[in-house]
Structure 1
Amino acid sequence: MSNRSIVPSFGLMFLSAALLSGCGDPAELPAATATQRDFVAIAKGKIDVEGGVIRLAAQREGLIQAVFVEEGDRVKKGQVLAQIDTRQAELGVAQARADLGEAQARHGIAAARLQAAEREAKRLADLAATKAVPVQDADKARDEARVQRGELATAAAAIAVAREKLKRELFEIEARRIRAPLDGRIVRRSAKPGDGASTFNVTELFLLAPESDRIVRAELDEQFVSNVRPGQRARILLDYDGKQAFAGQVLRLGEVFGARKLANDDPNERQDMRVIEMVVSVRDSQALRIGQRVQVQVLK
């Protein structure tokens, strides 16, 4: 090997060592330029959030009665986003309330009858003890009180059934409200008042991005896998603008190889390349949008 070829190699090694020694903690990684060959792997990816965006649909089919949010709105967990027509469910609630009222009235009547039967049984038992009335009359009154006790228990059970029915009907109203499962931002609103919502061919009504830090889901080629491990620093470059960079860190690598999912416009690259998923954290990611294409450079 000639001296001319050795000198540049040592110069590159010195430059890489200087870069690594000056970076310090991964959280303080500066956004270096892409021209510095200080990375050991490169991968294309997309901006995402942990757990992914959530596609919200209705639990019950019907016409959308109202929509309460717009795209870009921040929402809180439990907030009502839209409502399916509840008129039929409200009729069910009204009927259930009426049934409960009737059951409670029957219970009151049964309680009064039991009270009267027990009073009569006691009176006849006292008279039978003095032989003022036949013992058979006292026994008959005691049996009647026992029957009325059973009627009261049946009436109490009917109240319990009516209350459960009312709960189910009230749930049917609640099931027609689409609520945010957690804090986040509405990134797409497909729901419109008057549109139909189906549970057979599930209708997406909203796309919700959880209120959490952005990450990159990148496809790491098989040839680079041995060069990457969790904890390594990374540089994230916007696909359309290689000058704007963000600092990051490799969080985890997938366990299974699969086919590439992201489109690749490079005609010289193999299209059957096997890849694994690489998840990378992103610092100061507020300016990045979900789905935005980026390039990840894993640093030495």
Structure 2
Amino acid sequence: MKRSPMSFSLMPGMPVLAAALLALAGCSPSSDSASVVTSAAAQAKPQSQVAVARGKIDVEGGLLDLSAAAPGLVQQLLIKEGQAVQKGQLVLRMADDAARADLAVAESELQLAQTKLKTRQERLPVLKTALTRWQSAAKQGAADLQNVDEAMQALRDAQAEVDIAGAEATVAKRKVEQLRALQQRHELRAPEAGTVVRLETQVGSMLQSGSHVAVLLPQRPLIVRAEVNESFVSAIREGMKAQVSVDGDAAPTKQDLPSATVLRVSPVYGTARLQDDTQRGPVRIVETVLAFDQPPVNAKVGQNVRVSFHE
């Protein structure tokens, strides 16, 4: 059979292929699809690092040096290194026999003065009653005004004795308080809860006023003090996130630390203590303090770290 010039036959599979081509030709990506892809890509994009700095783990306020408030001989040392102590716990007591004796005498004097005052005060109601009676009798003509004057003078004298006894009792009380305060200077107590890091004395040692007794690690959250090079200071701000890692030979997988947040950036420049440049000399830095987002495990005060600041 003779074919027409305009006629042709379709090969197997041609209808499916043509439909697919027509579908592709008639469709184009919508703006919504593009925005979804762009958003997903933005979320997948890692945070950009703006600066890296060296730092040290510290505790807010630093370690506490416990010192003797008065000179004396160490009689009791009630702590040891590594021990946890509570606020107000007795740490050390020095020999204070003389101070105790003085305090005992002062307490006896106070008791005597208070007894004397009480005795003088007990006379006043009796003398006031007597004066009232003489005044009443004088009004009725049954007593002389001289008797009234004598009763009034006796009351004045008694009141003066009460005032003097009260002053003596006050002085004795102040003396006792002073001696108790001096005795307390022979004792040393923990100013806050913490752990004893180091002892610097022992029983039998003679201490001077201000002598170091122990070093205390206070029970406060750990922080990071990072030295940000002056070239990157403008990129650091409060609230910025950072990743903290151990700066040393320890295995990173075991020594990774929690992320941290910038608490404050120092308003002054300083000289680096954790980094140096042998060619240019001292490095100018700004100290930045960061707080861990969660308590670090096995981190120690004084540990060297690297801090990576992120946008």
TM-score (norm 2): 0.75
User: Is 1:80 aligned to residue 106 of structure 2?
Assistant: no
> Equivalent residues in 2 for 1:110-189 (5 A)?
110-115=120-125, 117-118=127-128, 120-122=130-132, 124-125=134-135, 128=138, 134-189=144-199
Deviates more, 1:107-116 or 1:147-156: 107-116
User: Is 1:241 aligned to residue 238 of structure 2?
Assistant: no
Find the aligned partners of 1:203 and 1:19 in 2 and give their Cα distance: 57
> Equivalent residues in 2 for 1:85-96 (5 A)?
85-96=95-106
Give 1:197 deviation, angstroms: 2.9
Find the aligned partners of 1:16 and 1:156 in 2 and give their Cα distance: 83
| 3-state DSSP of counterpart to 2:52 | strand
Give 1:109 deviation, angstroms: 3.5
Closer, same or farther in 2 for the Cα pair 1:175/1:262, shift >3 Å?
Answer: same
Give the aligned partner of residue 69 of structure 2: 59
Give 1:151 deviation, angstroms: 0.9
The partner residue of 1:230 within 238, 258, 265 is 238
Q: Is the 8 A contact 2:54 2:275 kept in 1?
A: no
User: Is 1:20 aligned to residue 46 of structure 2?
Assistant: yes
Find the aligned partners of 1:204 and 1:113 in 2 and give their Cα distance: 56
Deviating above 6 A after TM superposition, structure 1's stretches of 4 or more consecutive aligned residues are: none
Find the aligned partners of 2:275 and 2:183 in 1 and give their Cα distance: 44
- Root-mean-square deviation over aligned CA pairs: 2.7
Give the counterpart letter for 2:89 in structure 1.
Q
Q: Is the 8 A contact 2:257 2:297 kept in 1?
A: no
Closer, same or farther in 2 for the Cα pair 1:132/1:252, shift >3 Å?
Answer: closer
The partner residue of 2:228 within 217, 220, 223 is 220
Give 1:251 deviation, angstroms: 2.2
Give the counterpart letter for 2:222 in structure 1.
R
Give 1:256 deviation, angstroms: 0.3
User: Is 1:256 aligned to residue 268 of structure 2?
Assistant: yes
Find the aligned partners of 1:150 and 1:59 in 2 and give their Cα distance: 42
Q: Which runs of 5+ in 2 are unaligned?
A: 1-40
Give the counterpart letter for 2:247 in structure 1.
D
Q: Is the 8 A contact 1:187 1:207 kept in 2?
A: yes
Give the counterpart letter for 1:289 in structure 2.
K
Closer, same or farther in 2 for the Cα pair 1:122/1:16, shift >3 Å?
Answer: closer
Deviates more, 1:58-67 or 1:93-102: 58-67
Find the aligned partners of 2:221 and 2:117 in 1 and give their Cα distance: 58
Q: Is the 8 A contact 1:248 1:280 kept in 2?
A: no
Find the aligned partners of 1:238 and 1:212 in 2 and give their Cα distance: 21
| 3-state DSSP of counterpart to 1:246 | coil
Closer, same or farther in 2 for the Cα pair 1:79/1:19, shift >3 Å?
Answer: farther
> Equivalent residues in 2 for 1:43-54 (5 A)?
43-54=53-64
User: Is 1:192 aligned to residue 192 of structure 2?
Assistant: no
TM-score (norm 1): 0.77
User: Is 1:208 aligned to residue 216 of structure 2?
Assistant: yes
Find the aligned partners of 1:196 and 1:57 in 2 and give their Cα distance: 13
Find the aligned partners of 1:259 and 1:115 in 2 and give their Cα distance: 77
| 3-state DSSP of counterpart to 1:163 | helix
Give 1:124 deviation, angstroms: 4.7
Give 1:171 deviation, angstroms: 2.1
Give the counterpart letter for 2:211 in structure 1.
T
Give the aligned partner of residue 281 of structure 1: 291
Give the aligned partner of residue 23 of structure 2: none
Closer, same or farther in 2 for the Cα pair 1:280/1:118, shift >3 Å?
Answer: closer
Give the aligned partner of residue 9 of structure 1: none
Give 1:245 deviation, angstroms: 2.4
Give 1:164 deviation, angstroms: 2.4
Find the aligned partners of 1:19 and 1:198 in 2 and give their Cα distance: 62
Deviates more, 1:61-70 or 1:229-238: 229-238
